[in-house]
Amino acid sequence: MTETMKDFLATLRMLDPARQFRGRLKRAVRLLLNWWIWLTTRLGGGSYTDFYERMMDRRARVGSLFGKSALAVTGTPDERRRRFAVEYFAAHGWITPTTTFLDYGCGGGATGVNFIRYLDTGRYTGADISGESLRRAREWVGKSRLADRCPTFVHLPGGSLAGLNDRTFDLIYAQDVVTHMPPDNIRALIREIARHMRFDGVFLMTFTYADGDCEYQDDLVNWHHNPRFFVAASAGSPLGCEEVVEWTKAGYKPGEVSRMVRFHLRPASGR
């Protein structure tokens, strides 16, 4: 079955009234659970970052309330959107098997497995705020028989990049990670990640598009952004930023508007 036919059938299923009701019910239950985790985190003196770490740990540990296993709750490696990035990057010459690659916010590894399969041994590093998600990522590596590629996984508790030590990378990729980060956290990331980029390195970031300024969306964890936000956020940092216009037309997420920005070290930035 072609990808176009799969997308068509998926659209038909979305039009089913019973399916729409189940979708609304799932969203309502997920929202209530997120609010509970948020409330208990805040009452304990925690931050948004602490809340998000707890939420992702729970999902990776126990799975979905609606039947998805803990291993599959963040997706599976054979999904189209999980394969898309590595295929697109390779086709455009943005990545080669020898690229040193950081998968920032790798989650449960569903996308990372495809990069590990493409890259040479020891070239992949996955990093995430959720220790439980990283455990699931290691499981996917084992199930995919890729342990001999020697991927590295790094826990970033509280969002700190300290676990990366002084390592630098040719390519850093954050797939939709900033969709779940408040604006101030994104600004801090842009400032701090520069020290982990090689001088000719690139930082690619995808996000959900908003026609306007930063917009708070739903479920406590989703933001939409306009590319102008990232250009402004990089001002005064060691990184320059521009939108990757060709990505907009690539069809990464059918039915959704995904955008991409590219960061590079400014000349004589001194990091």
Instruction: Provide the pLDDT for residue 63.
Output: 62
What is the Cβ-side half-sphere exposure of residue 23, based on CA atoms within 13 angstroms?
8
Q: What confidence tens digit (pLDDT) does each residue in 215-240 have?
A: 656 667 888 888 999 999 999 999 99
**Is the pLDDT confidence value at 168 over 50?**
yes
What single DSSP character describes residue 119? Answer: S
**Cα dihedral across residues 133, 136, 142, 144: positive or negative:** negative
**Cα dihedral across residues 155, 226, 198, 250: positive or negative:** positive
Quickly state the pLDDT bin for 61 (edges 50, 70, 90). Answer: confident
Between these two residues, 81 and 149, which has the higher pLDDT value?
Answer: 149
**Is the pLDDT confidence value at 147 over 90?**
yes
Nearest to 56 by CA among 5, 15, 108: 108
The Cα-based distances of 149 to 20, 26, 98, 166 in angstroms read 42, 38, 12, 22
Q: What confidence tens digit (pLDDT) does each residue in 33-52 have?
A: 888 888 999 999 999 999 99
Instruction: Provide the pLDDT for residue 66.
Output: 46
Q: What confidence tens digit (pLDDT) does each residue in 130-146 have?
A: 999 999 999 999 999 99
The percent helix, strand, coil of the chain (3-state, each to 5) is 45, 20, 35
What are 236's two structure tokens?
């005064």
pTM of the model: 0.84
Instruction: Provide the pLDDT for residue 11.
Output: 55
The mean pLDDT value of the chain amounts to 84
- Angle, alpha carbons 166-167-169 (nearest 5°): 140
